[in-house]
Copies of this chain bind each other. A is one copy, B any other.
């Protein structure tokens, strides 16, 4: 196996890792140079400044996932339609320098008359599959735009995006809820759980969100509690539309502060949770190159 330089190049930042032949991380680096912050659109220059040292050994290969492969990125690596596995991504790599530097495509799917897309998360899914030793399962990637993906036979067969994190941000900052909500407060598990339960009752997010306001109006939620309750409402709403049965296993991939909340919410339904972090990205890159 060649030395692999794995880069997750997102909208606001990028992270890179140098992996040995067995996929072990030898070195990591990150920079606030997401695709929106690349000076003069000089992606090649930013890449060289960060990774030319790592690329020196003969036979080094770099795979880049995330928004760098979007229309607004370095070059467009078109979406691959589901079902798709690591071998499909490999076949559709968009080579910047043949055999040396490639952009990973994202995944797309049609559901009813509406498409859905992911870009970057598919690598994390394939990595978590490998780390967990699974070829089938339900995978959740919480975030600004959370993804729920079904994997069968080692390929992503279906997925859905939820604007959970972004709703939390815009409601907490720009709606009437902002007046009585401290979005930076630490998690209040009891209030978070109340939100999850409330969302599960199915009255709908448009109504439940106003409940945050009404509870604050009657001094029954403090600003810190309001943030946790709203977070519970939103994650609970996301969970409400999944087919989750007690005893089922769900793989949750992401930053600990987020996966913790999903684990808390899923645990209430008796769902078993396995969590993975950044290591899933690097394992996924290695899986694609294999």
In the bound assembly, the distance between CA atoms of A198 and B211 in angstroms comes to 25
Q: Are B175 and A163 in contact (CB under 8 A)?
A: yes
The distance from the CB of A222 to the nearest CB of chain B, in whole angstroms, is 16
- State whether A116 touches B211 (Cβ < 8 A): yes
Stretch at the interface among A21-29, A42-50, A202-210: A202-210
CB-based contact A166/B175 at 8 Å = yes
- Tell whether, in the assembled complex, residue B241 and residue A202 are in contact, meaning their CB atoms are under 8 Å apart: yes
Knowing A114-B215, A115-B218, the reply to whether A241 touches B171 (Cβ < 8 A) is no
The answer to the question of A238 belonging to the interface, with a C-beta cut-off of 8 Å to chain B, is yes
- Chain A's interface: helix, strand, loop or mixed, by majority? helix
Q: Using Cβ atoms and an 8 Å threshold, which residues of chain B touch A194?
A: 113
Which positions 58-100 of chain A face chain B at CB distance < 8 Å? none
Judge if A188 is at the interface, Cβ distance under 8 Å. no
**Is A274 positioned at the interface, with any CB of B under 8 Å from its CB?**
no
Would you call A54 an interface residue if the criterion is a C-beta within 8 Å of the partner chain's C-beta atoms? no
The oligomer's copy count stands at 2
- In the complex, the answer to whether B175 meets A206 with C-beta atoms within 8 Å is no
> What string of 1s and 0s marks CB contacts (under 8 Å) between A154-178 and chain B?
0000001111101100110111100
Q: Which of B115, B161, B204, B211 contacts A241 (CB 8 A)?
A: B204
CB pair B207–A241 under 8 Å, yes or no, is yes
Q: Which residues of B contact A167 (CB under 8 A)?
A: 175, 206, 209
Q: Please name all residues of chain B whose beta carbon is closer than 8 Å to the beta carbon of A202 when the two chains form the complex.
A: 241
Number of residues on chain A facing chain B (CB within 8 A): 44
> A112-B201, A174-B173 in contact; A164/B206 too (CB < 8 A)?
yes
State in angstroms the CA–CA spacing of A206 and B194 once bound together. Answer: 19
- B residues within 8 A CB of A170? 170-171, 174-175
Decide: A210 and B163 in contact? CB cutoff 8 A.
yes
Using a CB-CB cutoff of 8 Å, which residues 116-167 of chain A contact chain B? 116-117, 145-146, 160-164, 166-167
Apart from A145-B176, A162-B204, what are 7 other A-B pairs with CB-CB below 8 Å? Answer: A114-B211, A115-B218, A116-B211, A166-B175, A167-B206, A173-B174, A202-B241
Query: Which residues of A come within 8 Å of B, CB atoms?
Result: 112-117, 145-146, 160-164, 166-167, 170-171, 173-176, 194, 198, 201-211, 214-215, 217-218, 220, 234, 237-238, 240-241
